[in-house]
Amino acid sequence: MGKLKVGIIGAGSLSEAHFEAYKNNPNVELFAVCDLIEDRAGKKAEKYNIPNIYTDYQEMVKNPELDAISVVTWNNTHKDISVAALEAGKHVLCEKPLCLNYDEALEIKAATEKTDKKFMIGYVRRHASSIAVLKEVIDNGSLGDIYYAKASNLRRLGNPGGWFSDKSRSGGGPLIDLGVHVIDLLWYLMGRPKVKTVSANTYNKLGNRSNIKALSFYKAADYSPENDVEDLANALIRFENGASLMVDVSFTLHAKNDQSGAVIFGDKGGAEIDPSLVIVHEKNNVILNSTPQMDHPYFNFQDGFQNEINHFVNCCLTGEQPIGGIDDGVEMMKILTAIYESAKKQQEVVFE
Ligand SMILES: NC(=O)c1ccc[n+]([C@@H]2O[C@H](COP(=O)([O-])OP(=O)(O)OC[C@H]3O[C@@H](n4cnc5c(N)ncnc54)[C@H](O)[C@@H]3O)[C@@H](O)[C@H]2O)c1
């Protein structure tokens, strides 16, 4: 089996996790890098000894030696880059969110149907070692039917600015950036039920808050304080099987501190995922909280990315089906698009 020749499009902040994980995979040759900013691509090429540098992804995907690409660019470019790469016969790993909205997701799906190449979405939270353990517990039936899940990811001061807060490039604020991670993770653990109704709210009350002193926060690689995305989103999602999921996420909020949590509840047991894995069940009329012993019981960034990229590479080389393929992306974009629609109309969105 030859090495997979990989190219990375987008050499900004998050791309480092992709470069590192590919570098650590013995079946990969880092072969090309592309960024609109040539110097940024050049620095990665130097650091990772990559022979081909591009500023135009359309040129890069034409390279006949390239086997697979990672899309690590602004959200508004994911659809065009993914479609171009699939049409050029490349395997694609696309960062979350899949794209800007449901219609774009269907365009990518159409492109996947015309090729035998693999398409995977970078839902890194699914690839955490703790989630692999929990998924097996769920698949063995130990939690029974999962009927409720709840997630929160509230940043009190964390609007990254730049493209993240420019709706034309991001598609939205904390919902499409942070919410997509936790909604996808819980939906995956719930058995990927079909969405039935969505009722949601978004608020644009606080803006970027670049006025705040004495507290630092994560900023986009090309930071600017302009902002036209929501600061806060909440949603109640009901599924065809009767299960429900509640979520709230923020870029900024008058909260005492950052807050996050993710929990699922079944009729035989439950699990707390954030901040670390605890499995809850009942035995001999006693409630037991079990803490599985593992290297990474909480979400660990590099562990998640290494597992994700090893899985993608394995799928490309062996034909295995990826965890997090296009159908999952389409259903997630349906949910996210419905959340924004419900908030805008101030009405429940109902799917027939
Ligand atoms: N999985 C995660 O945990 C996670 C974390 C952060 C970001 N992300 C995702 O990764 C993607 C990139 O985020 P980031 O934080 O690295 O942003 P960033 O701004 O740091 O980097 C994006 C890079 O893409 C380049 N770019 C934009 N359009 C391009 C195009 N058409 N061709 C070539 N290069 C282009 C920009 O010049 C920039 O260098 C986003 O989709 C984001 O949602 C995922």
Reported as a single tens digit per residue, the pLDDT across 105-147 is 999 999 999 999 999 999 999 999 999 999 999 999 999 999 9
State which of 18, 55, 72 you would mutate to test the pocket of ligand 1, scoring each by most atoms of that ligand within 8 A of its C-beta.
Answer: 72
Residue with tokens 């039936």: 141
What is the enclosing helix (H) or strand (E) of 240? none
What is the enclosing helix (H) or strand (E) of 142? none
What is the model's pLDDT at position 296? 85
Ligand 1 centroid from CA 13, angstroms:
7
**What is the average per-residue pLDDT within 220-247?**
96
CA distance 282 to 192: 25
198 pocket-lining for ligand 1 (C-beta < 6 Å): no
Ligand 1 centroid from CA 70, angstroms:
11
Of all atoms in ligand 1, which is nearest to the CA of residue 10? Answer: 24
12 pocket-lining for ligand 1 (C-beta < 6 Å): yes
Q: What are phi and psi of 292, to 5 degrees?
A: -60, 140
The two domains 4-125+305-324 and 126-299+332-350 share their CATH topology (first three levels equal)? no
Selection from 179, 198, 184, 191 nearest residue 241 by Cα: 191
CA 352: distance to chain centroid? 27
What is the model's pLDDT at position 210? 86
Local confidence band at 1 (pLDDT 50, 70, 90 cut-offs) = low
**What is the average per-residue pLDDT within 199-222?**
92
CA 320: distance to chain centroid? 21
Closest residue to atom 4 of ligand 1, CA basis: 14
CA distance 18 to 8: 8
Asked if pLDDT for residue 254 goes beyond 70, the answer is yes
Helices (H), 155-283: 167-170, 174, 180-189
Ligand 1 centroid from CA 242, angstroms:
36
Ligand 1 centroid from CA 284, angstroms:
51
What does the pLDDT look like over 238-247, one tens digit per residue? 999 999 999 9
Ligand 1 centroid from CA 10, angstroms:
6
Domains in the chain: boundaries: 4-125+305-324, 126-299+332-350
Ligand 1 centroid from CA 74, angstroms:
5
Fold type of domain 126-299+332-350: Dihydrodipicolinate Reductase; domain 2 (3.30.360)
What does the pLDDT look like over 66-78, one tens digit per residue? 999 999 999 999 9
Are 233 and 173 within 8 A, CB to CB?
yes
Write the DSSP symbol of residue 157. Answer: B
What SS3 class is residue 322? coil
What is the model's pLDDT at position 95? 98
Are 312 and 324 within 8 A, CB to CB?
no
At the second CATH level, the architecture of 4-125+305-324 is 3-Layer(aba) Sandwich (3.40)
Written as six digits, the tokens of 87 are: 């049409």
CA distance 66 to 91: 9
**Percent above pLDDT 90 for the chain:** 92
Of all atoms in ligand 1, which is nearest to the CA of residue 160? Answer: 15
Q: List residues bridging with 54 in a β-sheet.
A: 34
Of all atoms in ligand 1, which is nearest to the CA of residue 305? Answer: 1
Number of residues that this document lists for the chain: 352
Burial of 203 from C-beta contacts in 10 A (0-12 / 13-18 / 19+): middle
Selection from 244, 147, 246, 249 nearest residue 196 by Cα: 244
What is the model's pLDDT at position 300? 86
What SS3 class is residue 159? coil
Closest residue to atom 43 of ligand 1, CA basis: 96
Asked if pLDDT for residue 306 goes beyond 90, the answer is yes
Q: Which residues make Cβ contacts (< 8 Å) with residue 246, sequence separation at least 6?
A: 148, 149, 150, 151, 234, 235, 236, 237
Q: Which residues make Cβ contacts (< 8 Å) with residue 41, sequence separation at least 6?
A: 11, 33, 34, 35, 53, 54, 55
